[in-house]
Chain A
């Protein structure tokens, strides 16, 4: 998740992702992307690992599969032809076509150690399960009462 109040829109997460995955710097190659809505909104968006992920369901060539434990979507690069139905299906804009090749990509959490999270200077990015998110929200709400 990205804490929108903390995110400054610096884009280091994008370049971290691009560096790790494509060995070059290009925000368009990143699987996490910053939405900047001037003047007040910045937030980084990546795959939400949805249940019954619409992107997977929408793929006519079964190029996308989802790991039932981690929720990570993987792309079979031999099957993907860049038709972009999965991109249309994703409500978060988290599936992208990195510039230069017409094959889709989405966040794979870097084997559990995402560089974007490690380098986020404001610690705006966190890797949390839904339960952890709601637990955090509960605690912060209750804290405000006392």
Chain B
């Protein structure tokens, strides 16, 4: 019976230039399905504990999913690695067209390991795999690199994932960009790629993807797209406003991180909301491959100093990190800052947090103009924000300090900066203040890659009001259910923004049409649990435990000063209770370490249990 899996892993060792093609084992497929499942599994198995994230022992594991290449709406790829920003489990996902091209070239998974002696790029032309000289590309930004490789290969249809200057310079939060501007942003995969001297991966795949039951899938799609049209989030909110549709709600509820996490509402936030963006700068709605939601907006700045700036974005998270945190409510400046990050190839969320930390230090006289290369690094200083972002991506002057991310930068700055710094396990949070969202308080604390909004995505349900955001009770169970569900979505690989139209039932329904075998809802749930516990086991192996599952102290002591969550803190006793309950639900002990019998129940075997 046909299946949507290509059935192969492509492995490239950059140290030896060896290219191997391995069968994708059936057991791995049944246990992990694809995407985050397979990536996390291979990462755990193949990486030794304690390795240097920027050394040749680290790997970049790009995984596609069972829906990749088919008409079932899917996201692109998930890349797994050890993060140079956090030193723990790293995974980032990106949309666009790149992953489908990899599948059509005949590979479900691409593993890049080792380190090349000089700059190279990888050219995958179906069966023909080559390493090509990239010395002429070194020093080029993400947009130039894309154009130059297409020109060199003489095919503008080639799909290219590449790093910018930030990746070359090993900025701890450098990203990987594919297609025009789809980005695997968080945790620093671009730095890992840069450390391997790998500038880009270009793919041309000319094969066709088959599925187990194509007529059944067409029928499924006819119904599925009707459901998409009948569901508010997928028919209206995301298509119309994109993620900036969340700006109003977050500000009204007082959980929009502002002035480096000291406030929960940005003055005149309407100047940067979805409506303003659509009215003033949107030129075109864009979609990733096969996506009916088209959350992406192509924008062009029309006036002022940054007129002419073109961007795919800005997304909610950048509006928070460059807008809210730096107290800048000028949409044109945020677009410019976002464009700087995208061009240099670095995560705008971490970059914005790093600059805002420096602004907070400047405000408290921990930093002075002497430290900041003469920049007046005050909150709301638009020009200083843009200049500092450029400096970070180029490791220029004080930018060299912020290039290490919040945790390390605070340590270097010293003088109390570490008390101000906001991160969990080295990752800066997404834009939701946990003091006004108790589920977020727990979710970001136990997230597999640090203060991550993707693992459980509980923020959505608290902002929407489908659960009471100020209540602690019941959140651990609610979070666990979401984490398991989204872990499975990340194996398929389904985008978060299809969350309302991909319940368990739908996943169980579409899977056999794609791959030819059936899994019951209960079996899917086990896969979700398995992935969550496996990522946790990876982190435990790197020394993480309960002690690392906490917010910085000020979130427990300093209440939000105004707005819709005025007076709120995280109650430490309630938080501890949530942690206890969550660990218990997961079968982890009181220190947050997966119990041996829990791992065995999840089919993770003796080997893994011995590791702790």
Extra pairs beyond A24-B210, A121-B294 (14, CB < 8 Å): A8-B287, A10-B294, A15-B71, A22-B208, A24-B211, A25-B211, A26-B104, A40-B284, A41-B284, A99-B206, A119-B221, A121-B225, A121-B287, A122-B294
Chain A contacts for B298, CB-based, 8 A: 39-40
Which A residues are closer than 8 A to B by beta carbons? Answer: 5, 8-12, 15-16, 18-20, 22-26, 28-29, 38-42, 99-100, 115, 118-119, 121-122
Question: How far apart sit A41 and B285, CA to CA, in the bound complex (Å)?
Answer: 10
Q: Which residues of A contact B293 (CB under 8 A)?
A: 121
Cβ-defined contact, A23 with B290, below 8 A: no
Please measure, in the bound complex, the distance between the C-alpha atom of A99 and the C-alpha atom of B205, giving whole angstroms.
12
Residue of A18, A20, A24 ringed by the most chain B CB atoms within 10 A? A24
User: Given the complex, which residues of A lie within 8 Å of B210, measured CB to CB?
Assistant: 23-25
Q: Please tell me if B384 contacts chain A, counting CB pairs below 8 Å.
A: no
B608 contacts partner chain A, Cβ-Cβ < 8 Å: no
Tell me if B128 is interfacial: C-beta within 8 Å of chain A: no
A-B contact pairs, 20 of them (CB 8 A): A8-B286, A8-B296, A9-B287, A10-B290, A10-B294, A11-B97, A11-B289, A12-B71, A15-B71, A18-B208, A19-B71, A24-B211, A25-B71, A25-B208, A39-B181, A42-B284, A42-B286, A99-B206, A119-B225, A121-B294
Residues in B with CB closer than 8 Å to A16 are: 71, 218, 221
Cross-chain contact B206 with A28 (CB below 8 angstroms): yes
Residues of A within 8 A of B42 (CB): none
Which of A25, A29, A99 has the most chain B CB atoms inside 10 A of its CB? A25
CB-defined contacts of A100 to chain B, threshold 8 Å: 208
CB neighbours of A20 from chain B (8 A): 218
Given contacts A20-B218, A119-B225, contact A15 B70 (CB under 8 A): yes
List of A residues within 8 angstroms of B575 by Cβ: none
Which residues in B have their C-beta under 8 angstroms from that of A19? Answer: 71, 214, 217-218
Q: How far is the CB of A16 from chain B (nearest CB, A)?
A: 6
> Least Cβ distance of B210 to chain A in Å?
5
Question: B181 contacts which chain A residues (CB < 8 A)?
Answer: 39
Beta-carbon contact of A26 and B294 below 8 Å: no
- A97 to B211: give the CA distance in the assembly, Å: 22
Collect the chain A residues with CB atoms within 8 Å of residue B239's CB.
Answer: 122
CB-contacts of B208-259 with A (<8 A): 208-211, 214, 217-218, 221-222, 225, 228-229, 239
Bound: A28/B284 CA distance, A: 25
Q: Is the CB of B289 within 8 A of A10?
A: yes
Please report the C-alpha to C-alpha distance between residue A119 and residue B228 in the assembled complex, in whole angstroms.
11
Q: Which chain B residues border A42 with CB–CB below 8 Å? A: 284, 286
Q: Is B310 an interface residue (CB 8 A)?
A: yes
B209 touches A25 (CB 8 A): yes
A41 partner residues in chain B, CB cutoff 8 A: 284
Within 8 A of A (CB), among B288-322: 288-294, 296, 298, 310, 312
Chain B, residues 494-536, CB within 8 Å of chain A (1/0): the string is 0000000000000000000000000000000000000000000
Shortest beta-carbon distance from B286 to chain A in Å: 6
Asked if B225 and A23 sit within 8 Å, CB to CB, the answer is no
> Does B87 interact with chain A (Cβ within 8 Å)?
no
In the complex the two chains form, is A8's CB within 8 Å of B225's CB? no
Choose among B180, B218, B285, B288 the residue that contacts A38 (Cβ–Cβ < 8 A): B180
Interface residue from B214, B283, B286, B292 paired with A121 (Cβ < 8 Å): B292
Question: In the complex, what residue of chain B is closest to A6 when comparing beta carbons?
Answer: B285
A39 touches B291 (CB 8 A): no
Interface presence of B207 (CB below 8 A): yes
B294, A99: Cβ atoms under 8 Å?
no
User: Does any Cβ of A come within 8 Å of B188's Cβ?
Assistant: no
Q: For residue A5, which residues in chain B have a CB less than 8 angstroms away from its CB?
A: 284
CB pair B208–A29 under 8 Å, yes or no, is yes
Give the residues in chain A near B180, CB-CB below 8 Å: 38-39
Among A9, A18, A119, max chain B CB count under 10 A is at A9
Q: Which of B152-202 contact A (CB under 8 A)?
A: 180-181
Q: Let me know if B290 and A12 touch, CB within 8 A.
A: yes
Contact A10 B221 (CB under 8 A): no
Cα distance A146–B211 in the bound complex, in angstroms: 52
Nearest B residue to A99 by beta-carbon distance?
B206
* B71 near A8: Cβ-Cβ < 8 Å: no
> Which residue of A12, A26, A38 is within 8 Å of B208 (Cβ)?
A26
Judge if B476 is at the interface, Cβ distance under 8 Å: no
The answer to whether A9 touches B286 (Cβ under 8 A) is yes
Question: Which residues on the A side are within 8 Å of B206 (C-beta)?
Answer: 26, 28, 99
A19 to B216, CA, bound (A): 11
Residue of A10, A22, A42, A115 with most chain B CB atoms under a 10 A cut-off: A10
Tell which of A5, A8, A29, A119 has the most Cβ of chain B within 10 Å.
Answer: A8
Q: How far is the CA of A29 from the CA of B208 in the complex (A)?
A: 9
CA distance A5 to B283 in the complex (A): 9
Complex CA gap A42/B207 in Å reads 24
Interface centre among B97, B206, B294, B312, by most chain A C-beta atoms within 10 angstroms, is B294
